[in-house]
Amino acid sequence: MPHRFSPFKGRPARALAASAAALLAATVAAACGSRAGDESAAAAESCLDTSGDTVAVGALNSLSGTMAISETTVRDAIYLAVDEINADGGVLDKQIEIVAEDGASEPTVFAEKAEKLIREDCVAAVFGGWTSASRKAMLPVFEDNDSLLYYPVQYEGLEASENIFYTGATTNQQIIPALDYLAETGVESLYLVGSDYVFPRTANAIINAYAEANGIEILGEDYVPLGSTEFSTIVQQVDAADADAVFNTLNGDSNVAFFREYSNVGLTADQMPVMSVSIAEEEVGGIGVENIEGQLAAWNYYQTVESDANSAFVEAFKAEYGADRVTSDPMEAAYNSVHLWAATVEAAESFAVEDVQAAAGGVSFEGPEGTVVIDGENNHVSKTARIGEIADDGLLYTVWESEGPIEPDPFLEGYDWAADLTVTE
């Protein structure tokens, strides 16, 4: 066996260190980019080419990882909308081509793929994202490259980027109507249960402020790590607190464990109803209808909404993807987002980002949930709030809905009791 290590001592080390230092110095000296305070050097020019018969858009959803189960449904809705528009002659007489990418349930991958779609595939707009973490990761990419993201999921508000169109609900279109509904039905005390991340924490901050202003007592506020399935302690506390209702901001698998435990200890919707904001048609099956029948949810859309647009949407979706599939709120918002983008491009008569931004305010689409209109001030859309009750067929049926669409108010500026929640500049 040969001696594998030559007994080098100091010299090569010193020489290597010196050369490394020289390299570093050279690279730093070579840099002469803009510094803080300079008028920002123009961001990378868009490579969008609209001379051909087609225009590319991106579909960026998690097709692998923990979020895949939810986000693949959104992708299906995006494809459906694009097919419809193409069958109808396309946008500005161009057929839409989808470039699909996998966000892999990881914020860094979302940022990477977003940049790839913008800079390599030269897409006119990107549709997708689900978690707030993924949106926060993509936001600087879309701003720096001056491109457009259509984000289709309800979220915690407190954001308004010129480069993002938010087609899901913000808090005043989901959480606050849910609280109004509970207050209307005589609820005077609440117990809050949520996953430990930004949406539940923000939602509960809003709920606490609302409760204080409206004389509702908060009997407890518990958080579990995302994905946690251990609920015996929390459900016992909920049971002992004997609140009038539970406000549930749990996400994903935790709901399954929570509701199983909830019905295990004998709690029912009649005794202590649970208002959930992350349980839609897709999730009910996983939880088991028997565990969740009669409980409440707050969204803007259910498969059972009665309108011509919705019948057509549900029919087209089932024809494309199978009769056993269901449609849900985020899917509907994604479907709307593609149509809203197309309508805006038609109104602007241009695919260019600044033209689309300028033309967006007031653009409307007759969606399955009703008419949605883009608010030019904050790039959100007006939406009808609906409280649904879970029935034994696994679908949700509207038990209450707002009088017409609610204007988006992501920073809750129209609510006096919310003044302390946000720092306005």
Query: Applying CB under 8 A, which residues contact other proteins?
Result: 4-9, 12-13, 16-17, 19-20, 23-24, 27-28, 30-38, 40-41, 43-44, 63-64, 72, 100-102, 104-109, 111-113, 115-116, 119-120, 132-133, 136-137, 139-141, 144, 158-159, 196-198, 201-202, 205, 225-226, 421-423
Nearest CB to other proteins, comparing residues 40 and 51: 40
CB 248 within 8 A of CB 194: yes
Q: How far is the CB of 45 from other proteins (least distance, A)?
A: 10
Nearer to other proteins, 51 or 424 (CB): 424
Please say which residue, 60 or 279, places its beta carbon nearer to other proteins.
Answer: 60
**Closer to other proteins by Cβ: residue 60 or 257:** 60
Give me the least distance between CB of 399 and other proteins, in Å please. 32
Nearer to other proteins, 18 or 265 (CB): 18
Q: Closest separation between CB of residue 5 and other proteins, Å?
A: 5
Q: Nearest distance from residue 402's CB to other proteins, in Å? A: 26
Site of tokens 């030019």? 376
Q: What is the phi/psi pair of residue 310, to 5°? A: -70, -40
State which residue, 120 or 377, has the beta carbon closest to other proteins: 120
Please report how close the Cβ of residue 147 comes to other proteins at its closest, in angstroms.
Answer: 13
Minimal distance, residue 388 CB to other proteins, in Å:
27
Measured from the CB atom, the residue of 197 and 415 that comes closer to other proteins is: 197
95-102 sheet: strands from edge to edge: 95-102, 54-61, 126-128, 149-151, 164-166
CA distance 417 to 172: 13
Q: Among 268, 253, 314, 280, which residue's Cα sits nearest to residue 388?
A: 280
Closest approach of Cβ 14 to other proteins, in Å?
A: 10
Q: Which two tokens stand for residue 147?
A: 């491109």
* Long-range interactions of 230-236: CB distance < 8 A, separation 24+: 230/257, 231/257, 231/258, 231/261, 231/262, 232/261, 234/193, 234/258, 235/261, 235/262, 235/264, 235/265, 235/267, 236/265
Residue 57 bridge partners (DSSP): 98
Q: What is the C-alpha to C-alpha distance for residues 288 and 380, in angstroms, rounded to an integer?
A: 34
d(CA 50, CA 48): 6
DSSP H or E stretch at residue 200? helix 198-214
Our CB check for other proteins shows the closer of 102 and 389 to be 102
Least separation in angstroms between residue 269's CB and other proteins is: 30
d(CA 40, CA 37): 8
Start-to-end Cα distance in the chain: 72
